[in-house]
A = this chain, B = another copy of it.
Amino acid sequence: MSAPLADSFIERHREQILAGLYEFVRFPSVSTDPAHGSDMAACAQWLAAEFSRIGLRGEVRATRGHPAVVAASPFRSERPTVLVYGHYDVQPVDPEALWTHPPFAPHRDGDRLYARGASDNKGPLWAHIKAAEAWMEQTGEVPVNLVFLVEGEEEVGSASLPEVVRELGRDRSFRCVVVSDTLMAGRDRPSLTHGLRGLAYFEVRLRGPNRDLHSGVYGGSVPNPATILCQLLSTCLDAETGRIAIPGFYDDVRAVSPEERAAAAALPFDEVGYRLELGLRGLVGEAGYSTLERRWARPALDVNGLFGGFQGAGAKTIIPGEAGAKVSFRLVPDQDPRRVDQLFRAYLAAMCSPYVDLEITTIQAGRPYYLPVGHPLIQLALAAIRDGFGVEPAVTREGGSVPIVQAFKEILAAETLLIALGLSDDNWHAPDEKFELSNLWRGIRTMVSLYGRLAS
Protein backbone atom coordinates (compact mmCIF):
# COMPACT_ATOMS: atom_id res chain seq x y z
CA MET A 1 0.00 0.00 0.00
CA SER A 2 2.81 2.42 0.76
CA ALA A 3 4.31 2.55 -2.74
CA PRO A 4 1.17 3.80 -4.54
CA LEU A 5 0.57 6.22 -1.65
CA ALA A 6 4.04 7.74 -2.05
CA ASP A 7 3.94 7.76 -5.85
CA SER A 8 0.57 9.46 -5.95
CA PHE A 9 1.71 12.11 -3.49
CA ILE A 10 4.91 12.83 -5.42
CA GLU A 11 3.07 12.86 -8.74
CA ARG A 12 0.65 15.52 -7.61
CA HIS A 13 2.95 17.74 -5.55
CA ARG A 14 6.35 17.53 -7.27
CA GLU A 15 6.72 21.29 -7.81
CA GLN A 16 5.54 22.25 -4.34
CA ILE A 17 7.91 19.71 -2.78
CA LEU A 18 10.84 21.28 -4.68
CA ALA A 19 9.75 24.84 -3.96
CA GLY A 20 9.66 24.06 -0.24
CA LEU A 21 13.17 22.59 -0.33
CA TYR A 22 14.45 25.66 -2.20
CA GLU A 23 13.01 27.85 0.54
CA PHE A 24 14.67 25.66 3.17
CA VAL A 25 18.18 25.83 1.65
CA ARG A 26 17.95 29.61 1.15
CA PHE A 27 18.40 30.11 4.90
CA PRO A 28 22.16 30.70 5.56
CA SER A 29 21.90 28.65 8.74
CA VAL A 30 25.65 28.50 9.52
CA SER A 31 25.70 27.46 13.15
CA THR A 32 29.39 28.12 13.82
CA ASP A 33 29.24 31.80 12.81
CA PRO A 34 27.68 34.17 15.38
CA ALA A 35 26.83 36.58 12.54
CA HIS A 36 24.20 34.08 11.38
CA GLY A 37 22.34 33.91 14.71
CA SER A 38 19.18 35.53 13.36
CA ASP A 39 19.27 33.36 10.23
CA MET A 40 19.33 30.30 12.47
CA ALA A 41 16.29 31.53 14.41
CA ALA A 42 14.42 32.37 11.20
CA CYS A 43 15.16 28.94 9.74
CA ALA A 44 13.91 27.19 12.88
CA GLN A 45 10.73 29.27 12.89
CA TRP A 46 10.07 28.53 9.23
CA LEU A 47 10.56 24.80 9.78
CA ALA A 48 8.22 24.67 12.78
CA ALA A 49 5.55 26.41 10.72
CA GLU A 50 6.05 23.86 7.92
CA PHE A 51 5.46 20.97 10.37
CA SER A 52 2.30 22.59 11.68
CA ARG A 53 1.08 23.16 8.13
CA ILE A 54 1.21 19.43 7.37
CA GLY A 55 -0.52 18.46 10.62
CA LEU A 56 2.49 17.70 12.87
CA ARG A 57 2.32 20.21 15.70
CA GLY A 58 5.67 22.05 15.25
CA GLU A 59 7.42 24.09 17.89
CA VAL A 60 10.73 25.88 18.33
CA ARG A 61 12.52 24.80 21.49
CA ALA A 62 14.96 27.36 22.89
CA THR A 63 18.28 25.94 24.08
CA ARG A 64 21.45 27.52 25.46
CA GLY A 65 22.70 27.53 21.86
CA HIS A 66 20.72 27.48 18.66
CA PRO A 67 17.06 26.44 18.95
CA ALA A 68 15.82 22.96 18.09
CA VAL A 69 12.60 22.25 16.22
CA VAL A 70 10.33 19.53 17.59
CA ALA A 71 7.18 18.26 15.88
CA ALA A 72 4.82 15.34 16.54
CA SER A 73 1.92 13.62 14.82
CA PRO A 74 -1.26 13.17 16.89
CA PHE A 75 -0.46 10.65 19.64
CA ARG A 76 -2.20 7.29 19.95
CA SER A 77 -1.00 5.16 22.82
CA GLU A 78 -1.39 1.79 21.05
CA ARG A 79 1.14 2.74 18.39
CA PRO A 80 4.90 2.54 18.58
CA THR A 81 6.67 5.88 18.72
CA VAL A 82 9.45 6.65 16.24
CA LEU A 83 11.89 9.55 16.42
CA VAL A 84 13.17 11.12 13.21
CA TYR A 85 16.29 13.17 13.67
CA GLY A 86 17.80 15.75 11.33
CA HIS A 87 19.61 19.07 11.47
CA TYR A 88 18.86 22.42 9.86
CA ASP A 89 22.31 23.93 10.48
CA VAL A 90 24.99 23.83 7.79
CA GLN A 91 28.77 24.11 7.44
CA PRO A 92 30.45 27.46 6.68
CA VAL A 93 30.84 28.25 2.98
CA ASP A 94 34.49 29.33 2.95
CA PRO A 95 36.29 29.40 0.58
CA GLU A 96 33.25 31.07 -1.00
CA ALA A 97 35.22 32.02 -4.13
CA LEU A 98 35.32 28.34 -5.13
CA TRP A 99 31.52 28.06 -5.43
CA THR A 100 30.21 28.07 -8.99
CA HIS A 101 26.90 29.61 -7.80
CA PRO A 102 26.15 31.54 -4.59
CA PRO A 103 25.87 28.90 -1.85
CA PHE A 104 22.51 30.09 -0.53
CA ALA A 105 20.85 30.70 -3.89
CA PRO A 106 19.70 27.17 -4.87
CA HIS A 107 20.68 26.34 -8.43
CA ARG A 108 19.11 23.39 -10.25
CA ASP A 109 20.93 21.61 -13.04
CA GLY A 110 18.85 18.64 -14.19
CA ASP A 111 18.65 16.16 -11.31
CA ARG A 112 21.08 18.19 -9.21
CA LEU A 113 20.24 20.87 -6.71
CA TYR A 114 23.29 22.95 -5.73
CA ALA A 115 23.26 24.78 -2.37
CA ARG A 116 25.06 24.67 0.98
CA GLY A 117 23.09 22.20 3.10
CA ALA A 118 21.25 20.65 0.12
CA SER A 119 22.63 17.20 0.96
CA ASP A 120 23.89 17.81 4.52
CA ASN A 121 21.20 17.66 5.80
CA LYS A 122 18.25 19.65 4.50
CA GLY A 123 17.46 17.51 1.43
CA PRO A 124 17.46 14.14 3.22
CA LEU A 125 15.45 15.62 6.11
CA TRP A 126 13.00 16.97 3.56
CA ALA A 127 12.34 13.40 2.32
CA HIS A 128 11.20 12.46 5.87
CA ILE A 129 8.98 15.51 6.24
CA LYS A 130 7.39 14.93 2.86
CA ALA A 131 6.86 11.22 3.67
CA ALA A 132 4.99 12.25 6.82
CA GLU A 133 3.00 14.74 4.75
CA ALA A 134 2.15 11.98 2.25
CA TRP A 135 0.69 9.77 5.01
CA MET A 136 -1.20 12.72 6.52
CA GLU A 137 -2.61 13.88 3.24
CA GLN A 138 -3.64 10.48 1.94
CA THR A 139 -4.85 8.76 5.14
CA GLY A 140 -5.30 11.60 7.63
CA GLU A 141 -2.69 10.10 9.95
CA VAL A 142 0.80 8.66 10.21
CA PRO A 143 0.72 4.93 11.15
CA VAL A 144 3.23 5.43 13.98
CA ASN A 145 3.53 8.17 16.57
CA LEU A 146 6.08 10.19 14.64
CA VAL A 147 8.24 12.68 16.51
CA PHE A 148 10.67 14.94 14.63
CA LEU A 149 13.68 16.43 16.31
CA VAL A 150 15.65 18.84 14.11
CA GLU A 151 18.62 20.44 15.78
CA GLY A 152 20.64 23.55 14.89
CA GLU A 153 23.97 22.51 16.34
CA GLU A 154 24.99 19.35 14.49
CA GLU A 155 27.92 21.04 12.77
CA VAL A 156 29.20 22.52 16.05
CA GLY A 157 28.99 19.56 18.39
CA SER A 158 25.29 19.23 19.36
CA ALA A 159 25.92 20.69 22.82
CA SER A 160 22.25 21.40 23.56
CA LEU A 161 20.85 18.22 22.04
CA PRO A 162 21.11 15.86 25.01
CA GLU A 163 18.87 18.12 27.07
CA VAL A 164 16.19 18.21 24.38
CA VAL A 165 16.46 14.42 23.94
CA ARG A 166 16.11 13.96 27.70
CA GLU A 167 12.92 16.06 27.65
CA LEU A 168 11.52 13.96 24.80
CA GLY A 169 12.39 10.78 26.63
CA ARG A 170 10.64 11.87 29.81
CA ASP A 171 7.10 11.08 28.68
CA ARG A 172 7.63 8.75 25.71
CA SER A 173 9.51 5.59 24.95
CA PHE A 174 10.79 5.16 21.42
CA ARG A 175 10.84 2.02 19.33
CA CYS A 176 13.76 3.44 17.38
CA VAL A 177 15.32 6.52 15.82
CA VAL A 178 15.64 7.13 12.09
CA VAL A 179 18.38 9.36 10.69
CA SER A 180 19.28 10.16 7.10
CA ASP A 181 22.62 11.88 7.49
CA THR A 182 24.97 9.37 5.87
CA LEU A 183 26.25 8.55 2.38
CA MET A 184 25.02 5.93 -0.08
CA ALA A 185 27.43 3.23 -1.26
CA GLY A 186 27.00 4.45 -4.84
CA ARG A 187 24.70 6.33 -7.18
CA ASP A 188 22.22 3.41 -7.47
CA ARG A 189 23.33 1.63 -4.38
CA PRO A 190 21.34 2.74 -1.32
CA SER A 191 22.76 1.76 2.02
CA LEU A 192 21.97 1.17 5.62
CA THR A 193 24.75 2.05 8.03
CA HIS A 194 25.14 -0.02 11.16
CA GLY A 195 28.34 1.55 12.48
CA LEU A 196 29.83 5.03 12.86
CA ARG A 197 33.18 6.29 14.04
CA GLY A 198 33.44 8.54 17.05
CA LEU A 199 35.33 11.82 17.21
CA ALA A 200 37.76 13.63 19.44
CA TYR A 201 38.58 17.08 18.02
CA PHE A 202 41.16 19.44 19.51
CA GLU A 203 42.81 22.77 19.02
CA VAL A 204 46.51 22.73 19.90
CA ARG A 205 48.20 26.09 20.37
CA LEU A 206 51.86 26.80 21.15
CA ARG A 207 53.09 30.16 22.40
CA GLY A 208 56.75 31.13 22.26
CA PRO A 209 58.16 34.68 22.37
CA ASN A 210 55.79 37.42 23.56
CA ARG A 211 55.66 38.93 20.07
CA ASP A 212 56.64 38.16 16.50
CA LEU A 213 60.43 38.47 16.28
CA HIS A 214 62.75 39.43 13.41
CA SER A 215 64.03 36.05 12.27
CA GLY A 216 67.39 37.51 11.26
CA VAL A 217 68.11 39.11 14.60
CA TYR A 218 66.78 36.25 16.73
CA GLY A 219 66.79 33.16 14.50
CA GLY A 220 68.63 30.20 15.96
CA SER A 221 68.47 31.42 19.56
CA VAL A 222 64.81 31.22 20.56
CA PRO A 223 62.15 28.49 20.50
CA ASN A 224 60.00 28.88 17.36
CA PRO A 225 56.43 27.71 18.07
CA ALA A 226 55.72 26.98 14.38
CA THR A 227 58.76 24.73 14.05
CA ILE A 228 58.02 23.02 17.35
CA LEU A 229 54.37 22.50 16.38
CA CYS A 230 55.45 20.59 13.27
CA GLN A 231 57.79 18.44 15.32
CA LEU A 232 55.15 17.79 17.97
CA LEU A 233 52.39 16.79 15.57
CA SER A 234 54.72 14.61 13.54
CA THR A 235 55.39 12.47 16.62
CA CYS A 236 51.70 11.53 16.82
CA LEU A 237 51.66 9.39 13.67
CA ASP A 238 54.05 6.68 12.53
CA ALA A 239 54.63 7.55 8.89
CA GLU A 240 55.84 4.00 8.12
CA THR A 241 52.91 1.98 9.43
CA GLY A 242 50.23 4.67 9.30
CA ARG A 243 49.46 3.91 12.96
CA ILE A 244 48.82 6.48 15.63
CA ALA A 245 51.92 6.57 17.81
CA ILE A 246 50.30 7.61 21.10
CA PRO A 247 50.92 4.89 23.70
CA GLY A 248 47.73 3.06 24.69
CA PHE A 249 45.71 4.50 21.82
CA TYR A 250 44.81 1.09 20.37
CA ASP A 251 44.08 -0.61 23.71
CA ASP A 252 40.30 -0.38 23.32
CA VAL A 253 40.08 -0.82 19.54
CA ARG A 254 37.85 -3.82 18.72
CA ALA A 255 39.27 -6.05 16.00
CA VAL A 256 37.36 -6.20 12.72
CA SER A 257 35.70 -9.64 12.56
CA PRO A 258 36.52 -12.01 9.69
CA GLU A 259 32.82 -11.92 8.65
CA GLU A 260 32.85 -8.16 8.43
CA ARG A 261 36.14 -8.10 6.53
CA ALA A 262 34.64 -10.54 4.03
CA ALA A 263 31.45 -8.47 3.69
CA ALA A 264 33.46 -5.27 3.14
CA ALA A 265 35.64 -7.03 0.58
CA ALA A 266 32.50 -8.21 -1.27
CA LEU A 267 31.17 -4.65 -1.70
CA PRO A 268 31.69 -3.27 -5.20
CA PHE A 269 34.14 -0.61 -4.04
CA ASP A 270 36.19 0.85 -6.88
CA GLU A 271 39.50 1.76 -5.27
CA VAL A 272 41.01 3.18 -8.46
CA GLY A 273 37.90 5.24 -9.14
CA TYR A 274 37.97 6.50 -5.54
CA ARG A 275 41.59 7.56 -5.90
CA LEU A 276 41.11 9.20 -9.29
CA GLU A 277 37.97 11.02 -8.18
CA LEU A 278 40.01 12.61 -5.39
CA GLY A 279 42.85 13.50 -7.77
CA LEU A 280 45.36 11.41 -5.84
CA ARG A 281 48.40 9.50 -7.03
CA GLY A 282 48.09 7.03 -4.20
CA LEU A 283 46.16 6.06 -1.09
CA VAL A 284 47.68 5.70 2.35
CA GLY A 285 46.60 4.41 5.72
CA GLU A 286 47.14 1.82 8.41
CA ALA A 287 49.13 -1.13 7.13
CA GLY A 288 47.17 -4.40 6.83
CA TYR A 289 43.72 -2.91 6.15
CA SER A 290 41.72 -2.18 3.03
CA THR A 291 40.53 1.34 2.19
CA LEU A 292 36.97 0.61 3.36
CA GLU A 293 38.25 -0.89 6.60
CA ARG A 294 40.48 2.15 7.15
CA ARG A 295 37.50 4.46 6.68
CA TRP A 296 34.89 2.48 8.61
CA ALA A 297 36.45 0.24 11.18
CA ARG A 298 39.88 1.67 12.08
CA PRO A 299 40.77 4.87 13.93
CA ALA A 300 42.42 7.80 12.15
CA LEU A 301 44.31 11.00 12.99
CA ASP A 302 44.06 14.12 10.85
CA VAL A 303 45.45 17.63 11.05
CA ASN A 304 42.39 19.62 9.99
CA GLY A 305 44.06 23.01 9.95
CA LEU A 306 47.37 24.79 10.52
CA PHE A 307 47.90 28.44 11.38
CA GLY A 308 50.51 30.84 12.67
CA GLY A 309 52.95 33.49 11.50
CA PHE A 310 53.03 34.96 8.02
CA GLN A 311 50.57 33.58 5.48
CA GLY A 312 50.56 36.27 2.78
CA ALA A 313 52.33 36.48 -0.55
CA GLY A 314 56.11 36.90 -0.54
CA ALA A 315 58.30 36.97 2.53
CA LYS A 316 58.03 38.27 6.06
CA THR A 317 61.06 37.31 8.08
CA ILE A 318 59.51 36.58 11.47
CA ILE A 319 59.59 34.01 14.19
CA PRO A 320 55.88 33.86 15.04
CA GLY A 321 54.83 34.43 18.64
CA GLU A 322 52.39 31.55 18.33
CA ALA A 323 51.22 28.77 16.06
CA GLY A 324 48.42 26.25 16.24
CA ALA A 325 46.57 23.38 14.66
CA LYS A 326 43.20 21.70 14.60
CA VAL A 327 43.75 17.99 15.21
CA SER A 328 41.13 15.26 15.31
CA PHE A 329 40.83 11.54 15.88
CA ARG A 330 38.18 9.25 14.43
CA LEU A 331 37.34 6.53 16.92
CA VAL A 332 35.94 3.01 16.61
CA PRO A 333 34.32 0.56 19.05
CA ASP A 334 35.17 0.32 21.94
CA GLN A 335 37.15 3.57 22.19
CA ASP A 336 35.97 6.26 24.58
CA PRO A 337 36.66 9.87 23.54
CA ARG A 338 37.33 10.80 27.17
CA ARG A 339 40.15 8.29 27.37
CA VAL A 340 41.56 9.46 24.03
CA ASP A 341 41.42 13.02 25.38
CA GLN A 342 43.53 11.98 28.37
CA LEU A 343 46.01 10.01 26.28
CA PHE A 344 46.47 12.82 23.74
CA ARG A 345 46.97 15.49 26.40
CA ALA A 346 49.44 13.39 28.33
CA TYR A 347 51.38 12.50 25.19
CA LEU A 348 51.68 16.09 23.92
CA ALA A 349 52.65 17.34 27.37
CA ALA A 350 55.41 14.72 27.49
CA MET A 351 56.66 15.34 23.94
CA CYS A 352 56.45 19.15 23.80
CA SER A 353 59.40 21.46 24.30
CA PRO A 354 59.32 22.90 27.83
CA TYR A 355 60.11 26.33 26.41
CA VAL A 356 56.79 26.99 24.73
CA ASP A 357 53.36 27.18 26.32
CA LEU A 358 51.15 24.29 25.24
CA GLU A 359 47.42 24.84 25.27
CA ILE A 360 45.04 22.04 24.27
CA THR A 361 41.33 22.73 23.90
CA THR A 362 38.82 19.92 23.44
CA ILE A 363 36.37 21.12 20.84
CA GLN A 364 34.24 18.07 20.08
CA ALA A 365 33.88 14.55 21.42
CA GLY A 366 31.56 11.72 20.38
CA ARG A 367 31.49 7.96 20.88
CA PRO A 368 31.51 5.42 18.06
CA TYR A 369 28.28 3.48 17.28
CA TYR A 370 27.64 -0.14 16.23
CA LEU A 371 24.51 -2.29 15.68
CA PRO A 372 24.88 -5.95 14.55
CA VAL A 373 23.57 -6.73 11.05
CA GLY A 374 21.24 -9.46 12.37
CA HIS A 375 19.17 -7.02 14.45
CA PRO A 376 15.39 -7.03 13.49
CA LEU A 377 15.35 -3.26 13.01
CA ILE A 378 18.13 -3.54 10.45
CA GLN A 379 16.19 -6.17 8.52
CA LEU A 380 13.01 -4.06 8.60
CA ALA A 381 14.84 -0.98 7.33
CA LEU A 382 16.44 -2.97 4.52
CA ALA A 383 12.96 -3.98 3.33
CA ALA A 384 11.82 -0.33 3.30
CA ILE A 385 14.86 0.69 1.27
CA ARG A 386 14.09 -2.08 -1.23
CA ASP A 387 10.59 -0.61 -1.52
CA GLY A 388 11.89 2.87 -2.07
CA PHE A 389 14.83 2.24 -4.39
CA GLY A 390 13.86 -1.03 -6.05
CA VAL A 391 17.37 -2.44 -5.58
CA GLU A 392 19.22 -4.41 -2.93
CA PRO A 393 20.80 -2.04 -0.38
CA ALA A 394 24.37 -2.30 0.88
CA VAL A 395 24.95 -2.84 4.58
CA THR A 396 27.83 -0.60 5.53
CA ARG A 397 29.63 1.28 8.22
CA GLU A 398 30.73 4.90 7.94
CA GLY A 399 33.82 6.80 8.82
CA GLY A 400 32.04 9.93 9.95
CA SER A 401 30.59 10.63 13.34
CA VAL A 402 26.98 11.22 14.27
CA PRO A 403 27.51 11.83 17.98
CA ILE A 404 23.80 12.09 18.63
CA VAL A 405 23.36 8.43 17.70
CA GLN A 406 25.24 7.57 20.85
CA ALA A 407 23.12 10.08 22.77
CA PHE A 408 19.93 8.35 21.57
CA LYS A 409 21.29 5.05 22.75
CA GLU A 410 22.30 6.37 26.15
CA ILE A 411 19.33 8.63 26.86
CA LEU A 412 16.43 6.91 25.07
CA ALA A 413 17.77 3.34 25.10
CA ALA A 414 16.87 3.33 21.41
CA GLU A 415 18.82 2.06 18.43
CA THR A 416 19.20 4.21 15.37
CA LEU A 417 18.55 3.34 11.72
CA LEU A 418 20.90 5.23 9.46
CA ILE A 419 19.43 5.33 5.97
CA ALA A 420 21.63 7.17 3.50
CA LEU A 421 20.25 9.57 0.90
CA GLY A 422 23.47 11.51 0.18
CA LEU A 423 26.17 10.63 -2.34
CA SER A 424 29.90 10.68 -1.73
CA ASP A 425 30.34 13.31 -4.45
CA ASP A 426 27.67 15.58 -2.95
CA ASN A 427 30.54 17.78 -1.59
CA TRP A 428 29.53 17.85 2.03
CA HIS A 429 31.50 20.55 3.92
CA ALA A 430 33.01 21.71 0.60
CA PRO A 431 32.19 24.17 -2.18
CA ASP A 432 29.46 23.24 -4.70
CA GLU A 433 27.51 21.01 -2.32
CA LYS A 434 24.60 19.37 -4.17
CA PHE A 435 21.75 16.93 -3.64
CA GLU A 436 20.45 14.62 -6.35
CA LEU A 437 16.69 14.96 -6.57
CA SER A 438 16.21 11.33 -7.60
CA ASN A 439 17.31 10.53 -4.04
CA LEU A 440 14.66 12.91 -2.73
CA TRP A 441 11.94 10.98 -4.55
CA ARG A 442 13.36 7.57 -3.63
CA GLY A 443 13.84 8.83 -0.08
CA ILE A 444 10.20 9.85 0.23
CA ARG A 445 9.13 6.41 -1.03
CA THR A 446 11.50 4.68 1.39
CA MET A 447 10.29 6.63 4.42
CA VAL A 448 6.61 6.21 3.54
CA SER A 449 7.29 2.45 3.54
CA LEU A 450 9.43 2.56 6.65
CA TYR A 451 6.82 4.38 8.74
CA GLY A 452 4.27 1.79 7.60
CA ARG A 453 6.52 -1.16 8.45
CA LEU A 454 7.46 0.28 11.87
CA ALA A 455 3.74 0.41 12.72
CA SER A 456 3.43 -3.36 12.58
Chain B nearest CB from A372 CB (Å) reads 21
State A201–B214 Cα separation when bound (angstroms).
13
Q: Which residues of B lie under 8 Å from residue A28 when comparing CB positions?
A: none
Residues of B within 8 A of A160 (CB): none
A309 pairs with B304, CB closer than 8 A: yes
Decide if B312 touches A156 in the complex (CB within 8 Å).
no
Q: Tell which of B201, B303, B310, B315 touches A226, judged by Cβ atoms closer than 8 Å.
A: B303
A210 to B278, CA, bound (A): 6
Q: How far is the CA of A305 from the CA of B308 in the complex (A)?
A: 6
Residue A2 is within 8 A (CB to CB) of chain B in the complex: no
Residues of chain B within 8 A of A229, CB atoms compared: 230, 306
CB-based contact B211/A431 at 8 Å: yes
* CA of A285 to CA of B223, assembled, Å: 8
Q: Nearest chain B CB to A69's CB is how many angstroms away?
A: 22
Q: How far, in whole Å, are A212 and B433 apart by their CA atoms in the complex?
A: 12
State which of A130-138, A294-302, A342-350 sits at the interface with chain B.
A294-302
Q: Which residues of B contact A226 (CB under 8 A)?
A: 302-306, 325
In the assembled complex, which residues on chain B have CB atoms less than 8 Å from the CB atom of A100?
Answer: none
Interface string of A425-441 (1 = CB under 8 A from B): 00111110000000000
Report Cα–Cα, A280/B312, bound state, in Å.
27
Report A205-229 residues with CB < 8 Å from chain B CB. 208-224, 226-227, 229
Structural contact, B32 and A313, CB atoms closer than 8 A:
yes
Asked if A401 is an interface residue, CB under 8 A from chain B, the answer is yes
CB distance from A189 to the nearest CB of B (A): 16
Q: Are A295 and B219 in contact (CB under 8 A)?
A: yes
Count, chain A residues at interface, CB 8 A: 93
Docked pose: A242 CA to B299 CA in angstroms: 33
Q: Verify if A263 is at the interface (C-beta below 8 Å from B).
A: no
Contacting residues, chain B, for A183 (C-beta < 8 A): 217
**Assembled-state Cα–Cα distance A213/B328 (Å):** 14
Contacts of A399 in B (CB 8 A): 216-221
Q: A317 CA to B156 CA in the complex, in Å?
A: 10
Do the beta carbons of B310 and A308 come within 8 Å of each other?
no
Bound Cα distance A363, B427 (Å): 35
**A300 cross-chain contacts in B, Cβ below 8 A:** 215, 219-221
- Whether B316 lies near A305 (C-beta < 8 A) is yes
Q: Does A353 contact B (CB under 8 A)?
A: yes
Q: Does A354 contact B (CB under 8 A)?
A: yes
Residues of B within 8 A of A328 (CB): 215, 219, 315, 317
20 contacts between A and B (CB under 8 A): A32-B312, A32-B313, A208-B280, A209-B278, A214-B428, A216-B330, A218-B278, A220-B298, A221-B284, A221-B285, A222-B284, A222-B285, A229-B230, A230-B303, A231-B237, A282-B354, A284-B353, A305-B311, A306-B323, A316-B429
User: Lowest 8 A-B CB distances belong to which pairs?
Assistant: A216-B400, A220-B300, A210-B279, A305-B309, A305-B310, A219-B300, A226-B303, A282-B355
Known A199-B317, A221-B284, A226-B302; further 20 A-B contacts with Cβ < 8 A: A32-B313, A91-B316, A156-B314, A157-B314, A201-B317, A215-B302, A215-B328, A216-B398, A217-B424, A221-B285, A224-B303, A227-B302, A227-B303, A229-B230, A230-B325, A239-B353, A282-B355, A305-B318, A306-B325, A307-B307
